[in-house]
Chain A
Amino acid sequence: MAERFYKYIPATAGEIEHMLGVVGYASIDALLAEIVPAPQLLGRPLALPAPVSEGEVLEAGAQLAAQNQHAGTLACFLGAGAYRHQIPAAIHHMVSRGEFLTAYTPYQPEVSQGTLQGIFEFQTMVCELFGMEVANASVYDGASALAEAIFMAHRVARGKRPKAIIAGAVHPEYQEVCCTYGLAEIVQLRAQPPGADGRIDLAALEASLDKQVCCVAVQSPNFLGLIEDLPALAELVHAAGALLVVVVTDPHACALFESPGACGADIVVGEGQALGLPVSMGGPYVGLFATRTKLVRTMPGRLVGRTHDVHGQPGFVLTLSTREQHIRREKATSNICTNQGLCALQTAMYMSMLGPDGIKDVAERSHAHALYLSRAIAALPGFELPFGGHFFHEFLVRTPVPAAGLVEHLVAHGVFAGVPMSRYFPDRSHELLVCATELNTRAQMDELVRLLGVHAAYEGGAA
């Protein structure tokens, strides 16, 4: 017993022996035999492989990792809420600085001016991008931002409008989060199925709008990639006295199309991942949240403001904290009392490095690539684009053979062809969501088109 060495247990063999002596047992096994019923004891050593050295563990790990197929090694046309754009190398070096490594919004302005200024600038850039007046310090991700926006719309209506309508073409996972977020306890959520053109059916929406509806939430570009008619929606929704909530999954779209704010949105939320964060297995992401100044007191989350100190020098401080639960727990606008500090900072670095022109350039090149790719795919026999509407960098393709099988085949040829819609809707087996960004080369796109054609012809012939 005494010579056994426990690498990850801080007690030494001598200490263990001493403790056993105090309680009166000769060994740990003897102690366990006394306190654990015999049938529950394993009665043999655990079937573990022999210990190996650190070097051997790293080697084994590297071999496993080399089998991964990911967006960095394959030509990637995946989107559906996670978007791959070029991340300037400088961002990694800047964001890795130890001073930034806090997930929490600091309370004390006297020790946190740098962090607070970073958040203030992040808020300012989110406002510019969305065409809104005030943005918070961020929330967890795009999906929770949407749920918080619907809660907020319910507060704006003073709880007197118990229904919220979500466009059916909002990301299905965002819709799911809205349900699991506890929204159903407060408002009756109704999904409005998209019309035949893949966008929200304005006539059907108008028919379902009444004084019970606090907001209509719509994604644009929507989950099928299409641009919604936001000005018409805003008019319709406002005529019914409700708020228009717009959710954006890749904010680059706001640099190419009229911003949601300019189109009349009351609350704009979004996923910030596309702005300088990697598509690393789903997170951590960052939720963007912006609204109109007149609604700021019902807005959830942290808010940093700029002010002056006693010497007249500019300074930054958390403001309008009376909305928050550390001031008024039961009346707080949200139970989120933190933000995605580091991720928000990273997106702020991205936005400031690229600037408005750079972001627009990324958007234009992504759009041009998607146009090129969509036309080439549509020209393949058996493939078609079911919707004629404008899209940004993502579009739906109807495939002649099941899309999930196509995707699987193409991975073996070094291409992630897209996201099969059957992943979310089992009955939509012949639909593929394809995304192209500025990172997809002409050669990658031509190879995708060639492989799609070859495999569809082969599978179609075999069937």
Chain B
Amino acid sequence: MQFPADLKYTKEHEWLRVDGDVVTVGVTDFAQDALGDVVYVDLPEVDGAVSAGDTVAEIESVKAVSDVYSPVTGQIVAVNEELDGSEESINEDPYGAGWLFQIKLADVAELDGMMDVAAYQAFVAEQEH
């Protein structure tokens, strides 16, 4: 299971790649493994304002449908249109081609509370027990 060191993580098993005031969001390797084969993704509308904790997307796998929450407050500036028809990218490349959406942060300080890779790995280890 992969845990890239340059990302931030949440307790909802989402990852954030920070680039200035824009974050790219996806689900972690642990999350995709738990979901199973993804068959459909419902992505948010670009330009929409979101608050941390809002349900912004849905991932449907052969096993279940799961909500994806916005980890931060801001504005959706891009969604991964490539996923339409290639939903398996979430399973095959969760940290790359499987990204979900990008948010322009309202307040960069919001990232301070996120887990780093070590904290997330510890969190996952705890979950697995």
Chain A residues packing against B (C-beta within 8 Å): 158, 160, 297, 322, 327-328, 331
Contact = CB atoms under 8 A, between A and B. Distances in A.
A328 B60 CA distance: 12
Contacts, number: 9
Interface string B15-47: 000000000000000000000000010100100
B45 A327 contact: no
B65 interface: yes
A322 B40 CA distance: 11
Contacts of A328: 65
Given A158-B45, A322-B60, A327 B65 contact: yes
Interface residues on B, range: under 10
B66 to A, nearest CB: 10
B45 A322 contact: no
Most chain A beta carbons < 10 A, residue from B40, B42, B45, B65: B65
Question: At the interface, is chain A mostly helix, strand, loop or mixed?
Answer: loop
Contacts of A327: 65
A327 B40 CA distance: 16
B65 A297 contact: no
A322 B39 CA distance: 12
9 contacts: A158-B45, A160-B45, A297-B40, A297-B42, A322-B60, A322-B65, A327-B65, A328-B65, A331-B65
Question: At the interface, is chain B mostly helix, strand, loop or mixed?
Answer: strand
Nearest to B84: A294
Contacts of A331: 65
B46 to A, nearest CB: 12
A47 B40 CA distance: 68
* Closest 7 A/B residue pairs (Cβ): A322-B65, A322-B60, A328-B65, A158-B45, A297-B40, A327-B65, A297-B42
A160 B45 CA distance: 11
A322 B60 CA distance: 8
Nearest to B67: A331
A322 B65 CA distance: 7
B103 to A, nearest CB: 17
A146 to B, nearest CB: 25
Contacts of A160: 45
A331 B67 CA distance: 11
Interface string B84-106: 00000000000000000000000
Interface string B45-56: 100000000000
Contacts of B45: 158, 160
A413 to B, nearest CB: 61
A16 to B, nearest CB: 57
A441 B52 CA distance: 69
Contacts of B60: 322
Given A160-B45, A297-B40, A331-B65, 6 more contacts: A158-B45, A297-B42, A322-B60, A322-B65, A327-B65, A328-B65
Nearest to B60: A322
B57 to A, nearest CB: 12
Nearest to A160: B45
A165 to B, nearest CB: 23
Contacts of A158: 45
A297 B42 CA distance: 10
Nearest to A158: B45
A214 B42 CA distance: 19
B43 to A, nearest CB: 11
Contacts of B65: 322, 327-328, 331
Nearest to B61: A322
A328 B55 CA distance: 15
Contacts of B42: 297
A86 B19 CA distance: 70
Most chain B beta carbons < 10 A, residue from A297, A322, A328: A322
A322 B45 CA distance: 21
Nearest to B40: A297
Contacts of B40: 297
A325 to B, nearest CB: 13
A297 B84 CA distance: 13
A331 B64 CA distance: 13
Nearest to A327: B65
Nearest to A297: B40
B1 to A, nearest CB: 27
A85 B64 CA distance: 45
A278 to B, nearest CB: 41
Nearest to B42: A297
A327 B45 CA distance: 25
Contacts of A297: 40, 42
A327 B64 CA distance: 9
A322 B62 CA distance: 10
